[in-house]
Amino acid sequence: MKYSGWPDTGELVVGKIDEIEDFGVFVDLEEYKDKRGLIHISEVASGWIKNVRDHVREGQIVVCKVLDVDEGHEQIDLSLKDVNDHQRSEKIQQWKNEQKADNWMDLALEEDIDDEDYTAIANELINAQGSLYDGFKQAAIHGHEALESTNLTDEEIDSLVDTARENVSVPYVNVTGYVDLENPSPSGVDGIREALEAAEGNGEVPDEVDLEVSYVGAPEYRITVQAPNYKTAESQLEESAQRAVTAIEGHDGDGEYHRERRTDDE
């Protein structure tokens, strides 16, 4: 996705060197539609430059700082020398992430969607989370909650969340739920203990998942799951709670799963 507007002064932009002249370098901006900038020879590198081609080449991807924008004359002045290695690396990674997110948009939306609708949906993600990539990342972690402030339809959110969970890799996510266990039957505490062991998985929880069951206050127990992605974490949480409920019901007790902790007056 390319932005239709103009970059701001001071912004870092990604561009591809299109043309090299003795006086400077012309750069096509990769993030802005139909926008081209100029790096004057004095902004290519520090010190005296004998030959611009000793420093850059046509087709090279570069990160530049925007020095000035003159919309009236459609002129964007850029600097290559004012960008340090850390800024360059960080901006390139951000740009690559946005390219990934652009591909995910194609997967999430209908192939025949027009540019106007595509842009509208993309802008909803950007406005909600700051960037297209962060919109998908937060959707993968938090599901509908990440996009509930948008004007997207439920169908659009479903599609975006499903695509995010299938494609976004996050280091790990944590989810928490609660299960109420009551056992008035003769098995009493033993029945509760069996239900808690069932919740913990009886050794059958996948290696990449860390699942912990802890006591909150009678009759409530907390289930905490850490997993590589939201989809796995949520699935393991629900399966853990269901194992506990099934086990306690086997003792003629009662079990109920809920996501939020109960307050004392509930």
The CATH code of the domain that includes 121 is: 1.10.150
Q: Which residues constitute the domain of residue 229?
A: 173-258
- Give the confidence band of 1 by pLDDT, cuts at 50, 70, 90: low
Within a domain: 47? yes
Q: Which residue has the higher pLDDT, 202 or 177?
A: 177
Which of 50, 83, 116 lies at the terminal end of a domain, its last residue?
83
Which of 133, 167, 201 lies at the terminal end of a domain, its last residue?
167
pLDDT, tens only, 59-110 = 999 999 999 999 999 999 999 999 999 999 999 999 999 999 999 998 998 7
Q: What does the block give as tokens for 151?
A: 């004007």
Do both 79 and 91 map to the same domain? no
Distance CA 27, CA 5 (A): 17
Do both 203 and 148 map to the same domain? no
Do both 79 and 56 map to the same domain? yes
Report whether pLDDT(264) > 60: no
Task: Point out which residues pair with 177 in neighbouring strands.
Answer: 223
Q: Across residues 114-122, what is the average pLDDT?
A: 87
Which of 167, 197, 216 lies at the terminal end of a domain, its last residue?
167
Distance CA 133, CA 139 (A): 10
> Helix or strand or coil: residue 45?
coil
Q: Across residues 124-148, what is the average pLDDT?
A: 90
Q: Residue 242: which CATH number?
A: 3.30.70.1130
Sign of CA dihedral 52, 54, 58, 63: negative
Mean pLDDT computed over every residue of the chain: 91
Highest mean pLDDT among 29-33, 143-147, 201-205: 29-33
- Give the model's pLDDT for residue 265: 47
pLDDT, tens only, 168-189 = 877 788 899 999 999 999 999 9
Do both 204 and 162 map to the same domain? no
pLDDT, tens only, 212-229 = 999 998 899 999 999 878
Do both 157 and 180 map to the same domain? no
* Phi/psi at 54 (5° precision): -75, -15
Distance CA 254, CA 184 (A): 9
Within a domain: 1? no
- Give the model's pLDDT for residue 72: 93
Q: Across residues 26-51, what is the average pLDDT?
A: 94
